[in-house]
Amino acid sequence: MTELHRMLIKIEYDGTPFVGWQSQENGDSIQHEIEIAAHKLTTRPTAVQGAGRTDAGVHAIGQAAHLDVPLKYTTRSVMMGLNSYLESKPISIVSATRVANDFNARFDAIERRYLYRMLTRAARPSLDKYRVWHLAKILDIKSMQEAAQHLEGKHDFTSFRATHCQAKSPIRTLQSLEVRAAGDEIHIIAIARSFLHNQIRNITGSLVEVGKGKWNPNRIKEILAAKDRREAGPTAPPDGLYLTDVIYPDSVVNPDLS
């Protein structure tokens, strides 16, 4: 039997042509493409476990996953080898790190960070088509910032999760929810240990209603208390959402492997 060791890989991808991260029967996924590349590299079936699922059209700058490879493969050969087989796909392995064999990319994560990009100008995007949510109307960012404060901390986020969300509990702790200006764009940065299905996109859709002047900032607090998805705003499109980073304890990603 071939002896294996575990690698943590950091992944960047354009989610536009994919059905999402997770392998599915109804189309091509990022996970499936990386598993094909890993099989070609190692000449053996190789499962790839991601830190979390991203939906169809959602992008990543810092998705994380683990896979097991034969001992002869170094971190560099894993990164470069996978990239060579992914060359025709909008997927890049940014780095590879050796971790303990009981490391789990999903369950060992202590923090996930997302960015949502909105372009607020009259002209539609050309270079960033499918990479931002285009809103021709200027939004009131101060009102959005005030509204976002109501969502920070530990809450029941039933009003902001997908109706088909499979999480056992709607309780989540938003460590930070920041709304900031970035030139012609407005960015929403969300940080938590874990998120509910469509939580960030539903929050974004609601904050945009505030930014348009349709709701006052305190309306977000009322929606949260209602625990009813019908009370919140529309789900923002996937185009502007990015998984930017997955954080692990230093002892997990830098173990003593001697």
Contact between residue 122 and residue 136 where contact means Cβ atoms under 8 Å apart: yes
Band of pLDDT at residue 24, cut at 50, 70 and 90: confident
Q: CA torsion, points 15, 18, 20, 24, in degrees to nearest 10? A: -170
Average pLDDT, the chain: 96
Instruction: Report the CATH architecture of 111-244.
Output: 2-Layer Sandwich (3.30)
Domain range annotation of the chain:
4-108, 111-244
β-strand partners of 179: 188
* pLDDT exceeds cutoff 80 at 124: yes
The active-site residue out of 55, 128, 140, 184 is 55
Instruction: Report the CATH architecture of 4-108.
Output: 2-Layer Sandwich (3.30)
Band of pLDDT at residue 252, cut at 50, 70 and 90: confident
55 among known catalytic residues: yes
pLDDT of residue 254: 75
Tens-digit pLDDT profile for residues 185-217: 999 999 999 999 999 999 999 999 999 999 999
The token pair that represents 234 in the structure block: 């529309």
pLDDT of residue 258: 52
pTM comes to 0.95
Buried b (16+ CB within 10 A) or exposed e, 33-60: bbbbbbeebbeeebebbbbbbbbbbbbb
pLDDT of residue 26: 83
* pLDDT exceeds cutoff 60 at 230: yes
Within 13 Å of residue 222, how many CA atoms lie on the same side as its CB?
9
